[in-house]
Structures are given as structure tokens and as C-alpha cells.
Amino acid sequence: MNETHQSFWKCVDCGSTMASTNQPCVSCGRVYHTVHGIVEALPKHMDRLSQDEADYHNHFEEDPIDVHQLESYRNRFYHQIIHSWIRRTQPGGSVLEIGSGSGYDARFTMP
């Protein structure tokens, strides 16, 4: 992992900075698992609503463009602003995208 990115990783249970998600958290011992190349970083203890929401998104297929109205004028407007910020990233720079799921924005920002 690039040394400049180490501070991006925080344990979701205790908040400690982590060097990698490939090793247990040195503060609380939390181990993170990777499924299909995605780090599962849900807190161990969630309220019922949060757990139900996570379960729903883990088990149901849906069209994100329809569900999140990604083609609506409002969403296109704000996504264009975000895309312009991402395009200004210097060569070799990094963009941390969290929770995209569908990769909708990647098609607009990747060469």
C-alpha cells in the first residue's frame, strides 16, 4: 500500500488508524474480511434498522439507475460537479470512492 494512503484506513469499531485492512486492528483486534475483492467494513454492533438496511442491499438485485434516479436532472447536475472535481486529480493521484456499488460514476471519470 502507498505510504501516503495509510491514514485512509480507520477501524469502524474503535476508530484507530490502520496500515491495512489485511491485518487485524492493533487496538481492538478486529479482523476485516474481503468478499469478491470488497472489504466488509460494517460495524460489529449495529441497530436493527442499520442491520436490516445492510441485509437488504446484500441480498436483493435492483437497478441502481432506477432506484436512485441517477438519470434525473438533479442527480446528473450534482454528479457532473463531482466528475469535474475527480478529473482535476493530478496524474498518480488517488480518488477514494466509497459505496458506489454499481460503478455508475466510473464510466464518466475513467479514461
Mean pLDDT by 10 residues, the chain (111 residues): 57 86 86 82 89 82 78 88 86 74 70 63
User: Which pLDDT belongs to residue 47?
Assistant: 93
**Which spans in the chain are helix H?**
48-59, 64-67, 73-87, 106-109
The number of helix segments (H) and strand segments (E) in the chain equals 4, 2
State the Cα–Cα distance between residues 74 and 66, nearest whole angstrom: 14
Q: Among 46, 75, 73, 70, which residue's Cα sits nearest to residue 58? A: 46
In this prediction the pTM is 0.48
